Amino acid sequence: MKPKKIRVCVYVKDLQYVTGRSERHCRRMMRDLRRKLGKPKPTAITVEEVATYLSLPPETVRDFMD
């Protein structure tokens, strides 16, 4: 049996599921998070970074991504 694959990157749609906000608002959140972390635009945002930004445990964010 193969182990379950866990995604590391978070997309705008994932943020929508976690926060219940609109797509536009979540895009702004991703932009602000990238700026805060000093990452260029095409760089992926990880589950841990989003969890820290939202003050949530990483497991909670992962639950919404499945």
Asked if the structure places residue 37 within a domain, the reply is: yes
Residues of the domain holding 25: 9-65
Asked if the structure places residue 3 within a domain, the reply is: no
Mean pLDDT score, 8-37: 96
Asked if the structure places residue 56 within a domain, the reply is: yes
Asked if the structure places residue 61 within a domain, the reply is: yes
Mean pLDDT score, 12-23: 96
Tokens for 15, please give them.
């943020």
Tokens for 4, please give them.
């379950």
pLDDT of res. 5: 78
pLDDT of res. 34: 96
**Helical residues (DSSP H) of 1-66, grouped into ranges:** 12-19, 23-37, 47-54, 58-65
Q: What is the number of structural domains in the chain?
A: 1
pLDDT of res. 48: 96
pLDDT of res. 14: 95
Asked if the structure places residue 36 within a domain, the reply is: yes
The better pLDDT of the pair 6, 23 is held by 23
pTM of the model: 0.85
Residue 29 has pLDDT above 80, yes or no: yes
Tokens for 60, please give them.
């909670």
Q: Residue 50: name the closest of 41, 24, 21, 37 by CA.
A: 37
Tokens for 33, please give them.
């998070």
